[in-house]
Amino acid sequence: MRVLFDGYWWMNGPPSGHMVLREVVGAWRQSFPADELHLVVPAVDLSHARAESPDLVFTGTSLRFHPLINSVALRHTDRRLGPFDATLAQNFAAGTRNSGVFVHDVLFQSNPEWFTRTERIYLSLIPRFARRADIVFTSSRTEVERIKAWNPELQRVESTGLGVPTAITREHASTDADPELHPGRFLLTVGRLNVRKNVGTVIDAVVRSGRVSSDFPLVVVGSPDGRTETLSAAARTAVTDGSVRFTGAVDDARLAWLYRQCRMMLFMSLDEGYGLPPIEALASGAPVIASDRPVLHEVLGDAVTYADPRDTVAIADAVAAEFDHPWRRESSQAPGNRPWADVVAAIRAGYQRENARR
């Protein structure tokens, strides 16, 4: 099979998009070595991409706008170097023959209040472009239903699942430790800092629990992104006195150490297309308190404690209850943690069914 990939995020990009692209291509190479994989990347990344992955075929494009790259450069590559048996884009479908697109979520449709006006305008292109696709892939069954509910004209929407990033499960050297943190003596929350991730409520809840201090802080990992929230006075005080520490974005080695050594991980997102951070935490052996949301029940199952993400008291009570248990390091396999080979097999099978239908 010859497969044309949207490689816009191959070298850089939002963490989820970059990770999914890398993991899918890597697993595809291992599972189906006879397939030819061809990626279209921004021209500025072309030489680096070729040097890094000489067994892959890359084409560069001078276009900069992701939707434009997929609608023009991918189609041009398909005409010039094809035929390809499948095209896999992220977010913005290419409209080539046997075109597939991986849509991470359509939360911007169901909950526009979580996004800025600029974000909504940009993201509104996703469902418009998806009408060109023969098949739409997404990560969870819950998100399949959301996409169908808001876009009933889409004929085929399938879930693939996701896996834990390889970099998180890889063994890292002890030098990846944070010298300012002590194993088992900090709480952790992970995610881009925006209103949907609900970090302010997490801070208020752990402060209310009485379990955080400058010697036992809440560590917040993530960079500001999109529509942000205003912290309460209690939260601002906790930041000032060192009970809450913002790290910004961290590399995979540091994140893996934080997962392995935290007393517990909290993930109080208001909603998700999938929700990888708590799956990563479970795979690293951390106890997890997660939002009581359908998608997280789907991917986390019975492996975590659930709390209403809008109920500060309920979250604080869940934190306090977890402290009643000894600190444990037990790697747990969440239902949503799929081998990347299975994710790729699901995508490839979707294309094969589409080819057989023609």
pLDDT tens per residue, the chain (358 residues)? 999 999 999 998 888 899 999 999 999 999 999 999 999 999 999 999 999 999 899 999 999 999 999 999 999 999 999 899 999 999 999 989 889 999 999 999 999 999 999 999 999 999 999 999 999 999 999 999 999 999 999 989 999 999 999 988 876 545 567 788 999 999 999 988 889 999 999 999 999 999 999 999 999 998 877 666 788 899 999 999 999 999 998 888 899 999 999 999 999 999 999 999 999 999 999 999 999 999 999 999 999 999 999 999 999 999 999 998 888 777 777 888 899 999 999 999 999 988 777 7
Model pTM greater than 0.85?
Answer: yes
- The pLDDT score that the predictor gives to residue 224 is 72
Distance from chain centroid for Cα 316:
26
110 Cβ contact list (under 8 Å, min separation 6): 146, 149, 150, 271
| Residue 343 Cα distances to 142, 161, 263, angstroms | 16, 6, 31
CB 259 within 8 A of CB 277: no
Distance from chain centroid for Cα 96:
26
- The pLDDT score that the predictor gives to residue 173 is 47
Q: Which CATH architecture has domain 166-322?
A: 3-Layer(aba) Sandwich (3.40)
Q: On the CB side of 115, how many CA atoms lie within 13 Å of its CA?
A: 16
Which region, left, alpha or beta, applies to residue 349 given φ > 0 means left and ψ of -120 to 50 means alpha? alpha
DSSP 183: T
Residue type, 241: D
Short-list 337, 345, 336, 338, CA closest to 31: 345
Delimit the domains of the chain by residue range. 2-163+338-357, 166-322
- The pLDDT score that the predictor gives to residue 226 is 66
Distance from chain centroid for Cα 12:
14
120 Cβ contact list (under 8 Å, min separation 6): 108, 112
- The pLDDT score that the predictor gives to residue 176 is 63
| Distance of alpha carbon 299 from alpha carbon 276, whole angstroms | 9
**Which superfamily, per CATH, for 2-163+338-357?**
Glycogen Phosphorylase B; (3.40.50.2000)
| Distance of alpha carbon 49 from alpha carbon 31, whole angstroms | 21
Rg of the chain (C-alpha set)? 21
Q: Which residues pair with 162 in a beta bridge?
A: 337
Q: Is there a shared CATH topology between the 2-163+338-357 domain and the 166-322 domain?
A: yes
Residue 95 φ/ψ, nearest 5 degrees: 80, 20
| Distance of alpha carbon 154 from alpha carbon 131, whole angstroms | 6
Residue type, 158: E
Residue type, 233: A
CB 293 within 8 A of CB 300: no
Q: Which residues pair with 290 in a beta bridge?
A: 267, 306
- The pLDDT score that the predictor gives to residue 40 is 97
Residues in the chain, total = 358
Residue 192 φ/ψ, nearest 5 degrees: -60, 145
